[in-house]
A = this chain, B = another copy of it.
Amino acid sequence: MKSHAPKPDIERVIAEIEKNKGLQPVPLFGTERTVIAVIGDERALDEHHIASLPGVSKVMPVLQPYKLASREARKEPTTITVGPVTIGGDEVVIMAGPCAVESDKQMEVAAQEVKKRGGHILRGGAFKPRTGPYSFQGLGREGIEIMARAAKKHSMVTISEVMDVRDVEFVAQHIDILQIGARNMQNFDLLKEVGKTKKPVMLKRGMSATIKEFLLAAEYILMQGNPDVILCERGIRTFEDETRNTLCIATVPIIKNLSHLPILVDPSHGTGKPHLIRPMARAAVAAGADGIMVEAHPNPIESQCDSDQALSMEDLSEMIEELGPIAKAIGRNLATL
Bound-complex Cα distance A287 to B285 (A): 10
- Which of B164, B237, B254, B280 has a CB less than 8 Å from the CB of A276? B254
Bound-complex Cα distance A236 to B242 (A): 14
**Which residues of the partner chain B approach A103 to less than 8 Å between Cβ atoms?**
none
Known contacts A39-B29, A249-B249: A132-B219 contact under CB 8 Å:
yes
Segment at the B interface, from A58-66, A82-90, A118-126, A147-155:
A58-66
Minimal beta-carbon separation of A57 from chain B (angstroms): 8
Bound-complex Cα distance A219 to B131 (A): 10
Q: Does A33 contact B (CB under 8 A)?
A: yes
Bound-complex Cα distance A63 to B239 (A): 20
**Which residues of the partner chain B approach A236 to less than 8 Å between Cβ atoms?**
208, 238-240, 246
Chain B, Cβ-Cβ closest to A285: B286
Minimal beta-carbon separation of A280 from chain B (angstroms): 6
Contact residue range for chain A? Answer: 35 or more
Segment at the B interface, from A40-48, A170-178, A196-204:
A40-48
Bound-complex Cα distance A285 to B62 (A): 35
One complex includes copies of this chain to the number of 4
- Which of B60, B135, B249 has a CB less than 8 Å from the CB of A280? B249
From residue 13 to 63 of chain A, which have CB atoms closer than 8 A to chain B? 26, 28-33, 35, 37, 39-41, 43, 46, 48-49, 51-54, 58, 60, 62-63
**Which residues of the partner chain B approach A219 to less than 8 Å between Cβ atoms?**
132-133
CB pair A187–B184 under 8 Å, yes or no, is: yes
Q: Does A336 contact B (CB under 8 A)?
A: no
CB pair B243–A246 under 8 Å, yes or no, is: no
**15 further interface pairs, Cβ-Cβ under 8 Å (given A52-B303, A206-B208):** A26-B28, A46-B135, A132-B219, A133-B223, A163-B189, A208-B236, A236-B238, A238-B238, A238-B246, A249-B280, A250-B279, A280-B287, A283-B283, A286-B286, A325-B328
CB pair B210–A207 under 8 Å, yes or no, is: no
Q: Does A271 contact B (CB under 8 A)?
A: yes
- Which of B132, B186, B208, B310 has a CB less than 8 Å from the CB of A237? B208
CB pair A308–B48 under 8 Å, yes or no, is: yes
Q: What are 29 residue pairs bridging A and B, where the CB atoms are less than 8 Å apart in the complex?
A: A30-B40, A31-B41, A33-B62, A33-B63, A46-B304, A48-B306, A49-B301, A51-B308, A60-B62, A129-B188, A131-B216, A133-B216, A163-B189, A164-B165, A165-B166, A184-B187, A187-B187, A206-B208, A236-B239, A238-B238, A238-B239, A246-B250, A250-B271, A250-B279, A253-B280, A254-B276, A257-B275, A279-B288, A282-B287
Minimal beta-carbon separation of A1 from chain B (angstroms): 10
Minimal beta-carbon separation of A236 from chain B (angstroms): 6
Minimal beta-carbon separation of A225 from chain B (angstroms): 12
